[in-house]
């Protein structure tokens, strides 16, 4: 199996996953240091759960691009 076919299959799978799930959750971690000249620094770590919406048009475009890579013959 060539690398081009593997990439095409991965694009198709990613596009279908984007259509099925529709959003991508992730956790954002931020660290802040609070302190002055006379006090020790205190580190605060916060975690915030966020999601990114995956546009339907992008999922369709990725799926179509993967399908075209599989169907269209490679130039010689």
- Domain segments of the chain: what residues? 3-71
47 pLDDT band, cuts 50/70/90, is: confident
**pLDDT tier at 38, thresholds 50, 70, 90:** low
d(C-alpha 15, C-alpha 72), whole Å: 18
Q: How confident is the model at residue 7 (pLDDT cuts 50, 70, 90)?
A: very high
- The reported pTM is 0.68
Give the residue with greater pLDDT, 62 vs 76. 62
The mean per-residue pLDDT over the stretch 9-14 comes to: 95
Q: SS3 for 36?
A: coil
Q: Tell me how far the alpha carbon of residue 10 is from its chain's centroid.
A: 13
Beta carbons within 8 Å of 31's beta carbon, 6+ residues apart: 43, 44, 45
Distance of alpha carbon 66 from alpha carbon 11, whole angstroms:
5
Would you call 38 helix, strand, or coil by DSSP? coil
Q: Residue 1 pLDDT more than 80?
A: no
What is the widest separation between alpha-carbon atoms in the chain? Answer: 72
């Amino acid at each position: 199996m060539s690398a081009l076919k593997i990439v095409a299959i991965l694009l198709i799978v990613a596009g279908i996953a984007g259509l099925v799930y529709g959003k991508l959750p992730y956790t954002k971690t931020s660290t802040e240091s609070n302190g002055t000249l006379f006090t020790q620094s205190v580190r605060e770590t916060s975690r915030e759960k966020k999601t990114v919406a995956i546009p339907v048009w992008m999922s369709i475009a990725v799926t179509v691009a993967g399908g075209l890579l599989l169907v269209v013959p490679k130039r010689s």
